Structure 1
Amino acid sequence: MNAYLYIIPSDCWDTIKANLNMDIQDGISKSVSDAPPSHYIFKIQLFSLLTKHSVEKYESREFDAVGYKWKLVLHPNGNKSRNVKEHISLYLALAGTSSLRPGWEIHATFRLCLLDQNRDHYLMVEDATGTGKRFHGMKLEWGFDKFISLKDFNGESNGYLVDDTCVFGAEVFVCKEKNITQGECLSMMKDSIINKHVWKIENFSKLDAERYESKPFNAGNQKWKIQFYPKGKGSGQGNYLSLYLALADPTTLPPGLKIFAEMTLRLLDQLQAKHYTGKANLWFSAANPDHGWQRFVSLAYFTNPSTGHLVRDICIVEAEVTILGVANALS
């Protein structure tokens, strides 16, 4: 389907409404047009069965208009969530938003339509102000709670419902579009789950690489790994063992995603269960994918047989990860 961009100057709107002989009540304009809606037609056969089968809401398939995807949302007996009774509720919803850039915002005017099958013309319903509605990530749907009363809709002389068949439609006109100031949404987690991973490291005395990593493990919706520096890192190099928690593949994170996690890293005492523990609440992201301690424990203490951390040249590292919150780019 071809899509066209209509731009209507605000100072022309009153003239247009007058020429269309609009009826304006309660902020809603109603007019009549012989031309069918230019962007979408939605025909329903056996409309009465929607009520019989308790269909409270129906969403049409997506359609293209002025470069975006939309759909119609119909409540055949009124939008119950808004306490609408004895009316049909009809809305225009923006769809396919995952392809839009973060911070998108679209201002659009639109007309929702209903065919009078007796006279072969359309009832056009729109906002009386003509200023348009602002579609964005937190408001994807606009329309009319009381699009038409069920009394008028069912009235035989009106021609809206003939042989239990009706036809709705939509026209969309984009006034302007822009990218708003970018932001983020922080979602804190309630009743977070503790995720535990145990890593057994053998032949410690023979480890000669700077860093070793555990197998990836799951915590929240991400994969993590433990990083183990047997000869230390940074300020701990040579005299300390360094231990870190890291995102397994930070390059796959969506832009702007940050993860607030409680992490606990332990060297297990294999003799007396007096484990050596580090704990912190920290933010992880693609820019900061790992956190830990360069001086987690001194090598002198770690290798002392009486501490139980190194037994038969084996040490055991344990990680506990609890996701406390997630921050995403506001879309």
Structure 2
Amino acid sequence: MGNSCVTGASSHSKKEQVQKAVEAPPSPVEQTTFKWTIDGFSSLLDLDKGWTISRVFEISGLRWYLRLNPRDTKSGDQNEYVSLRLQLSPASVRSDTVVEATYKFFIYDQLYGKHHEQPQVCHNFQTTSTSSGTSCMIPLATLKEKSSGFLVENSCAFGVEFIKVTAAQTNDATEKLFVQKKVNKISSIPEVYTWDIDDFFALKSPSHSPDFELHGHKWFISIHPSGFDKNGNFISVFLTMKVTDILHENSANLVELDIRIKSQGSGKDNGQKGRCEFSKNATSWGWDKFILLEDFKDCSNGYLVKTKCCIEAKVAVIGASKME
């Protein structure tokens, strides 16, 4: 019986040791990164100049996205540059909060591991400044050199590493984006929906179009007649993909969108274009300041005839991505 008691005590001691091990997990990794791999990079270059937006990713409890311009320019310089911006998603912007983030951008060397690294940057993200400054990374010609290792088999990878954020940090996030060729791809052909509004002055803020289907996905247009911030100076317009139409929480669609308020007279349409990734974290993209309300109501432009107006959405799904 004595041996039994001793054995029991020994067993209990081991159990305590196991419990202590479980209760003391390893510390989380302090630095977190987001890697954005783009397959079919040449197809991205074939598109109109401008910024392409990554999917929304979460790091340090906040939502962010990257903006890439592969054909950026500098004043007085004829060269084209590959540029990146870091943007704090509107979902994480608080009017009474300043998010201080220290980070650096990368272009990954896929052959030799000698990544092109930008100097460390510190930026305060807030309501009046949700985007970092543009960083001209390297000349486009340098990125395309075979010896650089940046562009391999028409694929390149960009990244941002967060050194310090005011919020708690989380694990790394990675995305791979595939951009389809512009020609001979049925999914690259824009499809169009037209929303005829009979009485603009009867619209609520926001008001939504009927659901419509383009490229096998269901969408709707939202309009804020007095602006998203209700300041009464601008009309805000957004395009939303129905959440139930997004197949998986880790997937996203790269969409080229062209939204226009049609001129019903001899004037020109007023439109905005963009390339954005629609995912479960970001189902809606658009413009807070789509058009000045004063310009919209100006009879000479033909946007508003009596009470009628017309909004056109042109959508092309040009790529897809998946978090890894």
* TM-score tier (shorter): 0.3 to 0.5
What is the TM-score with the length of structure 2 in the denominator? 0.43
| TM-score, normalised with respect to structure 1 | 0.42
Structure number with larger C-alpha Rg: 1
- The structure with the greater share of residues assigned to strand is 1
